[in-house]
Copies of this chain bind each other. A is one copy, B any other.
């Protein structure tokens, strides 16, 4: 769940030579400006309600949440804030607008806030489990307030999210709450699989498992965001399912691209050392695909990954370069790029099914391009 947002990785926005999931060097139909405008507009619509919801928490929980969202420093003084890029609320609003116009977009603001609260609840908990010390360029909540308070603040944010939907008189709010709760359970299962995989040997992990995990951890909430927007637009079951599929496939495309960047990304752009994911022996999608290839390079990769990573120890540059080459020679890089392109194509099919009018689908398309492009 922590994998999706680029800001969580402290990577810079995309300016690289690979601009789309298919590796096309030119700009797509959107240059990112439409997405940026959508995100800005989303923040303007969502932030006041999000902030008001967080302010309604009991004092101790409010304090931790305000810190987590970047609205307060650890000592309780106001901070300028960096509450993330609001991709998920933007998807809710864009989906509502695509199927129901401006009125539906306005009605869906509360659902957008609920999705953002769920996202942040999972970030608080994932950081505890993964012992991640930094998020959005600040120390994670558990490092400041302790594990217990970070867990409790996450629990409270989940309750707050479902409360917002429960008190919403909109006719879609009940169905939206069911869907959001189901999504939480899927996110939990995905995070479980991710943490469990860390303790397994690389050759025991199958590609299907890693794809399923990525869909649960990354795709599920993007799909849910789109589905909630569709529900608030009064869409039928087929359109809701298609928009859910659109978000899921776009999320998988993002994860594939993100995994490629984690191995071959330019450290000057990613802000992380070259091959950072290889140094920590991450069982990312290109690596698992490479290991499953049955090639001589796969055997070499398995041997390299067999050496345990010692946490905190810097990676050996030459060894990491050899590992990256083995993944590439075993076909992991090509597979990931082709798979990302395939997933984006599937996302477009789902989008066309739900929103046949291209003009109406523009916002969702821009956001999908944005999430898969900005991390490259």
Q: Are A192 and B148 touching (Cβ within 8 A)?
A: yes
List, in ascending order, chain B residues with CB within 8 A of A205's CB. Answer: none
Among the stretches A44-52, A74-82, A175-183, A306-314, the one at the interface with B is A175-183
Partner of A192, one of B149, B174, B189: B149
Q: Are A159 and B181 touching (Cβ within 8 A)?
A: yes
- With an 8 A cutoff between CB atoms, is A2 at the interface? no
- With an 8 A cutoff between CB atoms, is A61 at the interface? yes
List, in ascending order, chain B residues with CB within 8 A of A160's CB. Answer: 181, 185
List, in ascending order, chain B residues with CB within 8 A of A284's CB. Answer: none
Query: Would you give the shortest CB distance from A315 to chain B, in whole angstroms?
Result: 25
Q: A129-B148, A178-B163, A178-B167 are in contact. Are A155 and B192 (CB under 8 A)?
A: no
- With an 8 A cutoff between CB atoms, is A338 at the interface? no
List, in ascending order, chain B residues with CB within 8 A of A182's CB. Answer: 159, 163
Query: Would you give the shortest CB distance from A353 to chain B, in whole angstroms?
Result: 26
Query: Would you give the shortest CB distance from A4 to chain B, in whole angstroms?
Result: 18
- With an 8 A cutoff between CB atoms, is A134 at the interface? no
List, in ascending order, chain B residues with CB within 8 A of A186's CB. Answer: 58
- With an 8 A cutoff between CB atoms, is A280 at the interface? no
List, in ascending order, chain B residues with CB within 8 A of A288's CB. Answer: none
Query: Would you give the shortest CB distance from A161 to chain B, in whole angstroms?
Result: 9
- With an 8 A cutoff between CB atoms, is A147 at the interface? yes
Query: Would you give the shortest CB distance from A162 to chain B, in whole angstroms?
Result: 4
Q: Are B185 and A61 touching (Cβ within 8 A)?
A: yes
- With an 8 A cutoff between CB atoms, is A345 at the interface? no
Q: Are A60 and B166 touching (Cβ within 8 A)?
A: no
List, in ascending order, chain B residues with CB within 8 A of A181's CB. Answer: 159-160, 162-163, 166
- With an 8 A cutoff between CB atoms, is A59 at the interface? yes
Q: Are A61 and B165 touching (Cβ within 8 A)?
A: no
List, in ascending order, chain B residues with CB within 8 A of A184's CB. Answer: 155-156, 158-159
Q: A163-B177, A166-B181 are in contact. Are A188 and B155 (CB under 8 A)?
A: yes
Partner of A189, one of B61, B125, B163: B61
Residue of B nearest to A128 (CB): B151
- With an 8 A cutoff between CB atoms, is A295 at the interface? no
Q: Are B129 and A193 touching (Cβ within 8 A)?
A: no
A196 to B59, CA, bound (A): 13
Partner of A177, one of B148, B149, B166: B166
List, in ascending order, chain B residues with CB within 8 A of A153's CB. Answer: 188
List, in ascending order, chain B residues with CB within 8 A of A163's CB. Answer: 177-178, 181-182, 185
List, in ascending order, chain B residues with CB within 8 A of A151's CB. Answer: 125, 128-129, 151
Task: Provide the A40-70 mask, 1 if CB < 8 A to any CB of B, else 0.
Answer: 0000000000000000011111000000000
**12 examples of A-B residue contacts, CB within 8 angstroms:** A58-B185, A59-B189, A60-B193, A152-B192, A155-B188, A159-B185, A160-B181, A163-B181, A163-B182, A166-B178, A174-B174, A177-B177
* Closest 10 pairs (CB-CB, A-B): A163-B181, A166-B177, A58-B189, A159-B184, A129-B148, A162-B162, A159-B181, A152-B188, A60-B192, A156-B188
A residues adjacent to B (C-beta < 8 A): 57-61, 121, 125, 128-129, 146-149, 151-156, 158-160, 162-163, 165-167, 173-174, 177-178, 181-182, 184-186, 188-189, 191-193, 195-196
